[in-house]
């Protein structure tokens, strides 16, 4: 399966045209036509823009290789996280670490109560 063949269902699902894809990717429409006809591949920075827009793996988009599978919640979390500035990202990481520590403490307490 080619680069464009992997991309086409995403375009169809979102009712996007080749012109829309050109805008998303920051290229001229003839570039998209060349991708569709397997004449060229997008540059790395362009592939990253496209993958980010569709919230998919660059590795899968370009090479067809799967990364780890993510649930919809995991994809949403990553998408939201990327929208935060670096300070807020650090805050979110702190909250997650705290939640994990509390979960571990809860497991330890419940295991000692069952012993």
Based on the domain organization, do 57 and 91 belong to the same domain?
no
List helix spans (H) across the chain.
3-13, 18-25, 29-36, 44-54, 58-63, 72-83, 86-114
pLDDT 10s digits, 45-102: 999 999 999 988 898 899 888 765 677 888 888 889 989 999 999 999 999 999 999 8
Number of domains present in the structure of the chain: 2
Q: Give the contacts of 79 (CB within 8 A, at least 6 positions apart).
A: 55
Nearest residue to 14 via CA among 41, 53, 71: 53
Is residue 92 a part of any domain in this protein? yes
Based on the domain organization, do 13 and 53 belong to the same domain?
yes
Quote the domain boundaries for residue 22.
Answer: 3-63
Is residue 76 a part of any domain in this protein? no
Distance CA 46, CA 30 (A): 14
Based on the domain organization, do 58 and 105 belong to the same domain?
no
pLDDT 10s digits, 87-107: 999 999 999 999 999 888 877
Based on the domain organization, do 10 and 42 belong to the same domain?
yes
What would the two tokens of residue 23 be? 């805008």
Is residue 37 a part of any domain in this protein? yes
Question: What does pTM read for this prediction?
Answer: 0.58
Distance CA 58, CA 4 (A): 13
Identify the CATH number of the domain in which residue 37 sits. Answer: 1.10.260.40
């Amino acid at each position: 399966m080619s680069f464009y063949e992997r991309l086409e269902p995403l375009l169809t699902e979102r009712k996007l045209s080749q012109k829309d894809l050109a805008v998303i990717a920051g290229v001229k429409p003839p570039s998209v036509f060349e991708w569709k006809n397997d004449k060229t591949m997008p540059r790395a920075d362009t592939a990253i823009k496209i993958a980010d827009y569709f919230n998919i793996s660059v590795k899968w988009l370009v090479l067809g290789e799967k990364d780890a599978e993510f649930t919809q919640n995991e994809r949403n979390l990553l998408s939201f996280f990327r929208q935060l500035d670096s300070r807020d990202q650090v805050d979110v990481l702190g909250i997650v670490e705290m939640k994990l520590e509390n979960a571990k403490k809860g497991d330890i307490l419940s295991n000692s109560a069952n012993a």
